[in-house]
Structure 1
Amino acid sequence: MNLKLERIPNIESNTLQITGSKSETNRLLILQALYPNIGIENVSNSDDSELMQKALKSDEIIVDIHHAGTAMRFLTAYFAVKNGRETILTGSKRMKERPIKILVEALEQLGCEIGYENEHGYPPIRIKGKRPETNSVSLQANVSSQYISALMLIAPSLPNGLEIVLEGKVTSVPYINMTLSLLSDVGIKGVFNDNKITINPCDKISPKNIVVESDWSSASYFYSIVALSDNTSVTIGSYKKQSYQGDAKLAEIYKSLGVETTFDQNTITLKKVSGKLNKLEEGLDLSNSPDTAQTIAVTCFGLGIGCYLTGLHTLKIKETDRLEALKNEIEKLGGQVHITENSLRLEPSESIKKDVTIATYHDHRMAMAFAPLALKTSLYVEDANVVSKSYPDFWLDLKKLGFKILEA
């Protein structure tokens, strides 16, 4: 489905409820599969979380997780320690291009048995579940945090727990801390000191009910909308000031882009404030919140200011090469972007072309990051249904704010 977003002068103030965090939900679903007396509320209604639930309930040998990268990583570890179960874990064409070798090699250090069905280092993979032979593993520290979290989530179910040694500089620390905090919430002890993570074994836990915080990555699009508006506010829930999610940095980042955040119990209100904008040209390190990069870059483009974003090395192995995709689409709109393996520099610009068609590259965040530009110009969005991967109600919520959205 392609959509046309007509230009609107401003948005209507409103209150919206955002679905639960995909990151928190998927971690808790793995823990619930290992410890069934965990209850989960405000579960994400994203495609990724629904695919995770379906996979965990499946008795089939072939488990297809489509585009769900988190599910691929977490389920690789989960099925690897399911003694006696054989599973072929596969996904979409893009998923078969996304590397899994680092996680597979870490699990092989534990004695797990995993083979590649096609290209070495990439899905689909054949997993023969078995009880690990050791309780220590090492891997590079600058890899995707999902590899590390996958190991952390299965760790308490192992007879002697698990010690994970990270070699080099650790990136995506907030996601590691999120996993550690959720383990603690359900009663599992773990420690992260220097470059070593130690998770204690746990045979059983007391019944627990966990409420998932709403997704901060999804909140980023409303920060962008408010930043690009003239004078408005949007209230969204359910959020907390002491969040486990690294993307909660948005509240601080968007101060520079004219958005004030007010916390009130379980909601946040985003309000446009007047004042000089910070061009973010001296460098903003997003290594702890890379999923916000697309939104921030597009916001700056819409405001006509430049930005320099770093810490983006993981974006090249997401649903698409997000750095290349951002460069392509912003330049179609009249911007100028320079990218490296790790960074993006946007030059200031004075105008935005109208009626440009934005390609989404099967990437939900491309569709949602560019949508707020309807406050500046009319545009088209290809494959708009891709938002269901993380935020199925996105277009409905934009309509509640007064966006004019038509099928094209």
Structure 2
Amino acid sequence: MHLHLQKSTVKSQPSEVRITGSKSETNRLLLLRALYSTITIANLSNSEDSAVMQKALEAPLENPRAVNVHHAGTAMRFLTAFFALQEGKEVLLTGSSRMKERPIQILVEALQQLGADISYEETEGFPPIKIKGKKLTQSCVSLPAHVSSQYISALLLIAPKLANGLEVTLEGKITSVPYIKMTLALLETIGVETSFEGNRIKVNPKISVRKQQITVESDWSSASYWYSIVALSEIGTQITLSSYKKNSLQGDAVLVEIYRDFGVETLFNENSTITLSKVKICERSTVNLQLNNCPDIAQTIAVTCFGLGIGCDLSGLHTLKIKETDRLEALKNELTKLGAEVAVTDESLHLKPSRSIHENKTVKTYQDHRMAMAFAPLALKVPVAIEDAEVVSKSYPDFWNDLKNNGFQISATE
């Protein structure tokens, strides 16, 4: 399905946009709930990724069993660690054709250091993988620090169920520290003792945890598209989102600071909503941002800059090469189609300032939800079409309806 978005103006008095729980927090808590049945969760993400994760964790573990996570990268990493710990259970963990191109060897080798029994069914180093659950007896593991933080979080989440806990040594410069800290904070919330000093992380064992309910904060990655919409709108535009905290565990909360440079102010209200306001014209000619702690908002920022006619130099993006698509090349292709001058390296994107946007172009999404949502705000500048628009269900199923409810004109064609 292609969606055609017409040049529009956001309603002056928009309704509150209710965004469901963070996918990152939800998937971590779903795994912890599977390990500790005394945990309940409120404000779960309604994303496709979280639904896949929940289904895999709640279904009966027949032997042997096949689990297909489709495009859900977080589920692939977290479930690999979870199933490695399920004694006497055998699982074939697989996914989409793109998932079979996304590396998992570093996580598999780390789990094997702990005693896991995991083998590759097709290509060495990539899904699908066969996991024979067993008691993991070792308590020390080391792995490269620059890899996806999901590998590290997968290990940390199962750590309290290991007899002696876990000590993780990270070799080199650490990527996406906020996501590691999110995992540790959630472990602390349920009563697990942890420490993170230098390149060494320790998680103490915990047989059981007290009965408790944890409420998931709404997803900051999903909020990024509304920040872009406000940035590309007229002064005076306001949008209210729920529900967010000033002391967020999510790295993408840095949006508050980044979008201030684009003329967007964020007000934290007493009822846990935030109000985004366009208060001034962006006066920057270019922005230079290091995004290694928040790579998921790189696409949004690049498109915002293009829509504002300013340049950007975005770095720290090496993990984007192995996402749903090669996000750097995808951004280059689609921005160029719209009239931008873009260069990318293996870890950075460089956009030159430009005041011209080509109209009536179709943006290819590459089966990547973030491509669809990042480019949608450009409809505030020119008519644009989004190919395979349904991919947003991976993280934000209500996205197109929320746009319509806030004044966007959207029509669909097959």
TM over 0.5: yes
Which amino acid is the alignment partner of residue 188 of structure 2?
Answer: S
Which amino acid is the alignment partner of residue 211 of structure 2?
Answer: P
CA distance in 1 between counterparts of 2:13 and 2:256 reads: 18
Conserved? CA contact 2:321–2:327, under 8 Å = yes
Query: How far 1:133 moved relative to its partner?
Result: 2.1
Q: Which residue of 2 aligns with 1:7?
A: 7
1:54-203 matched pairs, under 5 angstroms:
54-58=55-59, 59-60=61-62, 61-203=65-207
Query: How far 1:12 moved relative to its partner?
Result: 3.7
1:303 paired to 2:308: yes
Conserved? CA contact 1:226–1:272, under 8 Å = yes
1:232-257, Cα deviation, whole Å (9 max, x unpaired): 00000000000000000000000011
Query: How far 1:131 moved relative to its partner?
Result: 0.8
Q: Which residue of 2 aligns with 1:25?
A: 26
Query: How far 1:307 moved relative to its partner?
Result: 0.5
CA distance in 2 between counterparts of 1:49 and 1:162 reads: 26
Which amino acid is the alignment partner of residue 334 of structure 2?
Answer: E
Conserved? CA contact 2:10–2:406, under 8 Å = no
1:346 paired to 2:351: yes
Aligned CA distance change for structure 1 residues 276 and 54 (closer, same or farther; 3 Å)? closer
Q: Which residue of 2 aligns with 1:37?
A: 38
Q: Which residue of 1 aligns with 2:392?
A: 387
- Describe the SS at the equivalent of 1:197: strand
CA distance in 1 between counterparts of 2:285 and 2:257 reads: 14
CA distance in 1 between counterparts of 2:225 and 2:41 reads: 26
Query: How far 1:57 moved relative to its partner?
Result: 1.7
Q: Which residue of 1 aligns with 2:48?
A: 47
Conserved? CA contact 1:19–1:45, under 8 Å = yes
CA distance in 1 between counterparts of 2:76 and 2:398 reads: 24
Query: How far 1:9 moved relative to its partner?
Result: 3.8
Aligned CA distance change for structure 1 residues 155 and 240 (closer, same or farther; 3 Å)? same
CA distance in 1 between counterparts of 2:309 and 2:229 reads: 14
- Describe the SS at the equivalent of 1:115: strand
Which amino acid is the alignment partner of residue 283 of structure 2?
Answer: L
TM-score for the superposition, normalised by structure 1: 0.99
Q: Which residue of 2 aligns with 1:277?
A: 283
Aligned pair partner of 1:224 in 223, 228, 232: 228
Unmatched segments (≥5 aa) in structure 1: none
Which amino acid is the alignment partner of residue 138 of structure 1?
Answer: S
Most deviating of 59-68 and 102-111: 59-68
CA distance in 2 between counterparts of 1:2 and 1:276 reads: 32
Conserved? CA contact 1:12–1:402, under 8 Å = no
TM-score for the superposition, normalised by structure 2: 0.97
1:193-228, Cα deviation, whole Å (9 max, x unpaired): 100010000000100100000000000000000000
Conserved? CA contact 2:262–2:281, under 8 Å = no
- Describe the SS at the equivalent of 1:39: strand
Conserved? CA contact 2:5–2:409, under 8 Å = yes
- Describe the SS at the equivalent of 1:213: coil
Which amino acid is the alignment partner of residue 274 of structure 2?
Answer: I
- Describe the SS at the equivalent of 2:385: strand
Query: How far 1:8 moved relative to its partner?
Result: 1.0
Q: Which residue of 2 aligns with 1:254?
A: 259
Which amino acid is the alignment partner of residue 4 of structure 2?
Answer: K
Query: How far 1:350 moved relative to its partner?
Result: 1.3
Query: How far 1:275 moved relative to its partner?
Result: 4.1
Query: How far 1:11 moved relative to its partner?
Result: 3.8
Conserved? CA contact 1:95–1:123, under 8 Å = yes
Which amino acid is the alignment partner of residue 22 of structure 1?
Answer: K
Equivalenced residue count is: 407
* Percent of matched pairs sharing the same residue: 63
Query: How far 1:171 moved relative to its partner?
Result: 1.3
1:146-183, Cα deviation, whole Å (9 max, x unpaired): 00000000000111100001011111000000000000
- Describe the SS at the equivalent of 1:151: helix
Aligned CA distance change for structure 1 residues 104 and 52 (closer, same or farther; 3 Å)? same
Conserved? CA contact 1:100–1:121, under 8 Å = yes
Conserved? CA contact 2:92–2:130, under 8 Å = yes
Aligned CA distance change for structure 1 residues 276 and 406 (closer, same or farther; 3 Å)? closer
Aligned CA distance change for structure 1 residues 280 and 190 (closer, same or farther; 3 Å)? farther
Which amino acid is the alignment partner of residue 267 of structure 1?
Answer: T
CA distance in 1 between counterparts of 2:168 and 2:11 reads: 48
Query: How far 1:10 moved relative to its partner?
Result: 4.2
CA distance in 1 between counterparts of 2:5 and 2:297 reads: 22
Which amino acid is the alignment partner of residue 80 of structure 1?
Answer: A
Which amino acid is the alignment partner of residue 225 of structure 1?
Answer: I
1:78-127, Cα deviation, whole Å (9 max, x unpaired): 00011111000000000000000000000000010100000000000000
Aligned pair partner of 2:409 in 401, 404, 407: 404
Aligned CA distance change for structure 1 residues 9 and 264 (closer, same or farther; 3 Å)? closer
Conserved? CA contact 2:286–2:353, under 8 Å = no
- Describe the SS at the equivalent of 1:345: strand
- RMSD, matched Cα: 0.9
Conserved? CA contact 2:9–2:407, under 8 Å = no
1:214 paired to 2:218: yes
1:268 paired to 2:274: yes
- Describe the SS at the equivalent of 1:314: helix
